[in-house]
Structure 1
Amino acid sequence: MGSLNVYSVLVVLFLTCGAAMATMENDQIIKENNCETKMSLPCVLEAFTSIFEKGSISNKCCGKLVVLGKVCHSTLVKRSLENPLFKYLSPATIISKSIQTWNNCLALIDSPSPSA
């Protein structure tokens, strides 16, 4: 449970301070698409954990990620990688996990529900 609190602090730090460290292009995309306001903090944490650490994302948060959109998803991941807190991470690994998370969520949302 302690690690969840650490991630909460990191995500809040990312959301509040990340703009100062991001490139102008990413900031513009995020602002124009209202990317930072489209997901709840618990879902942001799930998505963040599934991409930057080892974890999974719930069906509910997958739905919110898909609604967030591919442009916002990709841009927020890129901006996170620009943050010095994550300089120890492999960008190729994170981008791969980001694509995998996106594709898994998209497939889950696009798949038909079993009939009751």
Structure 2
Amino acid sequence: MASLNVYSVLVVLFLTCGVVKATKENDQIIKENNCETKMGLPCVLEAFTSIFNTGSISKKCCSKLVVLGKVCHSTLVKRTLENSLFKDLNLTTIIAKSILTWSNCLALID
């Protein structure tokens, strides 16, 4: 239960432009594509957990992730990695998990 609360806080940080230190380029992409309003919190939690921890993403949330779009998906992951809370994560592993999550969702909904 405590881990769910930690993930909820991390997702809020993930979604909050003012808290997350993001490059202007990433912020601009997110704003132009309306990335932060296309998925509900439960699906954001699933996607976040599948990329930044160990977890899976449901077919329902995969559909929402694909609607979110590859540009938004990639940019939100990049912006999250810019946050100092995630500085100790293995960048290669996170990017690989991000690509795997995206690819699995595409395959699942096709």
Please state how far the C-alpha of 1:23 moved relative to its aligned partner: 0.3
Please provide the CA RMSD for this pair: 0.6
**2:8 matched residue in structure 1:** 8
**1:88 matched residue in structure 2:** 88
> Is 1:34 the equivalent of 2:34?
yes
Matched AA of 2:37:
T
Which runs of 5 or more structure 1 residues have no equivalent in the other structure? Answer: 111-116
Matched AA of 2:61:
C
**2:76 matched residue in structure 1:** 76
**Alpha-carbon displacement from aligned partner over 1:4-58 (angstroms, at most 9, x marks no partner):** 111001111221212xx10010000000000000000010000000000000001
**1:57 matched residue in structure 2:** 57
Secondary structure at the aligned position of 1:56 is classed as coil
Q: Distance in 2 between matches of 1:75 and 1:13?
A: 15
Secondary structure at the aligned position of 2:71 is classed as helix
Q: Matched residues, percent identical?
A: 82
The total of aligned residue pairs comes to: 108
**Alpha-carbon displacement from aligned partner over 1:43-74 (angstroms, at most 9, x marks no partner):** 00000000000000011000000000000000
Q: Distance in 2 between matches of 1:14 and 1:63?
A: 20
Q: Distance in 1 between matches of 2:101 and 2:58?
A: 11
TM-score, normalised by the number of residues in structure 1: 0.91
**2:99 matched residue in structure 1:** 99
Matched AA of 2:41:
L
Which runs of 5 or more structure 2 residues have no equivalent in the other structure? Answer: none
